[in-house]
Amino acid sequence: MKDKLFDLEGKVAALTGAGGVLISMMAKELAARGAKIAVLDLVPEAAQKVADEIKAAGGQALALACNALDKPSIEVACATIVKEWGRVDILVNGAGGNNKKATTSPELSFFDMPADALRFVMDLNLLGTIFPCQVFGKLMAQQKSGVIINTSSMNSFRPLTRIIGYSAAKAAINNVTQWLAVHMAQTYSPNIRVNAIAPGFFETLQNKFLLRDEKTGELTARGNQIVSHTPAGRFGTPEDLLGALVWLVSPSASFVSGIVVPVDGGFSAYSGV
């Protein structure tokens, strides 16, 4: 017997940045629940690998090269998905990340941080979310239905030391999520919902240099500090995000829009004492 609350059978989902560790796991979970998956990534080989894994597991997937910072690239991807499957029901904005040159360190002070590095991080996270929302959101406006999930971060609520650009960009995504939730519902259809997931500390390629020593693999002082301030006592794993994702994109969340859901192992609740 199907659980109607969490039924995704036949839905079409597009995920940007889906060649990466966290979003690829999301793509596989949605596929396992019956959704048709468009795997979008800047690196075609990474997208194809994830699509092949979904197909090998019995799911339906399409790999598409897509630059989340280039609207024509997103439009081509969207048109390809519509040609293949007729619509897009779910958009997961997963493209994002940080840059060493936009991170303060003993070798790089805030005062010397290069403007192009800050712009890169701000653009990648903020515009890399807004542009797909424009393209796929327009399609959802025509359909009068759809779900958009943005990727925020707990840095957006409590900015962390060193990563000024990343924290600022994720805070902006929270605002965009709320704004777009209202705009889409009031202007086009109340059946279009926009929410965000805010992961706590997850090990990814973008942040590994901050959390572990590159030579030994041991936790850095920062990595140890994070784990000691996380009541769960560990970093998050990709699987930890799946429950929130499935809830937000499924019929069970049909009255949920404009929120940012923390998935942080209790980090934000802990005062340090």
The residues carrying an active-site annotation are 166
Burial of 19 (0-12, 13-18, 19+ CB in 10 A): buried
Q: Which two tokens stand for residue 164?
A: 């000024």
**8-state DSSP, 212:** B
Phi, psi of 39 (to 5 degrees): -90, 105
**What is the CA 79 to chain-centroid distance, rounded?**
22
Q: Are strands 90-93 and 60-65 parallel, antiparallel or unpaired?
A: unpaired
- The answer to whether 95 touches 124, Cβ cutoff 8 Å, is yes
DSSP 99-142: -GGGS-BTTB-GGG--HHHHHHHHIIIIIHHHHHHHHHHHHHHH
